[in-house]
Amino acid sequence: MVSSPHEAMHQIFREDPGLFARALPKAGIALPEPTTIQLLDTDLTEIKPMARRVDTLMRVNTADSGSYLLAVEAQGKPDPDKHNSWTYYLAYLYAEYKLPPLLLVVCQDKPTASWAAQPIRIGLPAHTSVAVFPLVLGPENLPTIIDPDEAAEDLALAVFSALAHANDPALPAILEALATALATIGGETAQDWAEYTEIGLGDTRSRAFWRHLMTLRPSRFPGSGTLIEETRIEGRAEGRTEGRAEDILRILDLRAIDIPEAARERITGCTDLEQLGTWFDRALTATHAEELFAAEA
């Protein structure tokens, strides 16, 4: 199913577009300092059979180095099919906007982050025609924040760090520091980030632990509001999965490929956006519907 952690890992850059400029230096990656940042449409559709959508897309303007595009992708597991998608995204963005595009992949586990950081090379062994070098933020290069004072200095970065280290044994200490910082600051801003953290942790023991921490600070966080916000985020995610499933069925239909009822139900019933993305890529070349599910068989 579509996971709240997946949505939270990239949507946090919509909540605070400047976050990437503060997070990347923590991982030793320096980019020109932005002056303005503009969120862009994430639909990268060129023609009907090639409907593709990046998770989050921003135009970043700088004082001395011009403008560039930043495509943010949340990745939950290694997926070789993503190499095709990411290469397409960058080529399309460069052609559409005439600006240099960058790809930032955000991950919650080290194996996925290590996989995502590998260069993508297209061409022959003797000659590379196209090369893609993704930027990656994950538990391996994003420092943990276990000091409440440090967390209070940049709540968005502290929340992002907590989500990136969701599978880290040190997560309880990270959440303790974040909870203390939020309780110290208080107010609606702190409450919003507390709710965002809960949603981003997903349906896990860590989420239960976070809820426990929040119950210890009721006076600073009046009213939960979490269910409403979670419904809003998951509603947007549900709409994206329904649209992706429709895209898959339309591609198969346009390519005159028969879709058995079982396959149709499996596609429309899937709520895992990454899985649907994999099936979408396979639908472009499959000769029969069952090929979409070959790796899962």
Are the CB atoms for 194 and 214 separated by under 8 Å? yes
Nearest to 146 by CA among 172, 166, 169: 172
Sequence letter at residue 272: D
- What is the pLDDT averaged over residues 93-112? 94
Q: What is the mean pLDDT of residues 28-48?
A: 81
Give the pLDDT band (50/70/90) at residue 193. very high
Task: With cut-offs at 50, 70 and 90, classify the pLDDT of residue 253.
Answer: confident
Average pLDDT estimate for 67-91 = 93
Residue 55: is its pLDDT beyond 50? Answer: yes
Give the closest residue to 85 by CA, choosing from 236, 273, 297, 288: 273
Q: How many residues does the chain have?
A: 297
Cβ-based neighbour number of residue 285 at 10 Å: 8
Share of the chain above pLDDT 70, in %: 87
The mean per-residue pLDDT over the stretch 80-103 comes to 93
Question: pLDDT for 198-229, tens place per residue?
Answer: 888 876 688 888 888 887 765 444 444 444 44
pLDDT at 37: 93
Q: What pLDDT score does 231 carry?
A: 52
**Residues 6 or more apart in contact with residue 7 via CB below 8 angstroms:** 74, 199, 200, 233, 234, 236, 237
The two structure tokens encoding residue 277: 């993305």
Question: How far apart are the C-alpha atoms of 8 and 2, rounded to whole Å?
Answer: 11
User: What residues pair up with 122 in beta bridges, in sequence order?
Assistant: 130
The alpha-carbon radius of gyration of the chain (Å, integer) is: 20
Supply the DSSP string of 83-135, one letter for each residue: HHHHHHHHHHHHHHH-S-EEEEEEESSHHHHHHHTS-EEEEETTEEEEEE--E
**Residue-wise pLDDT tens digits, 111-168:** 999 999 999 999 888 889 999 999 999 999 999 999 999 999 999 999 999 999 988 8
127 CB-near residues (< 8 Å, 6+ apart): none
Q: Compute CA 178 distance to the chain's CA centroid, rounded to the nearest angstrom.
A: 21
pLDDT of residue 286: 84
Confidence of residue 235 (pLDDT cuts 50, 70, 90): low
Distance (Å) of CA 3 to CA 24, 55, 234, 239, 271: 24, 13, 8, 13, 9
Query: Quick one: average pLDDT of 181-209?
Result: 86
Residue 188 has pLDDT above 80, yes or no: yes
- For residues 95 and 90, give the distance between their C-alpha atoms in angstroms, rounded to a whole number: 9
For residue 239, the model assigns a pLDDT of 67
Better-predicted residue by pLDDT, 11 or 70: 70
| 17 and 246 Cβ atoms separated by less than 8 Å | no
**Interstrand relation of 67-75 and 56-62 (parallel, antiparallel or unpaired):** antiparallel
Lowest mean pLDDT among 49-53, 227-231, 245-249: 227-231
Stretch 241-264: mean pLDDT, rounded? 84
Reply yes or no on whether the pLDDT at 179 is more than 50.
yes
Determine the average pLDDT of the residues in 256-265. Answer: 90
User: Looking at residue 2, what is its pLDDT?
Assistant: 46
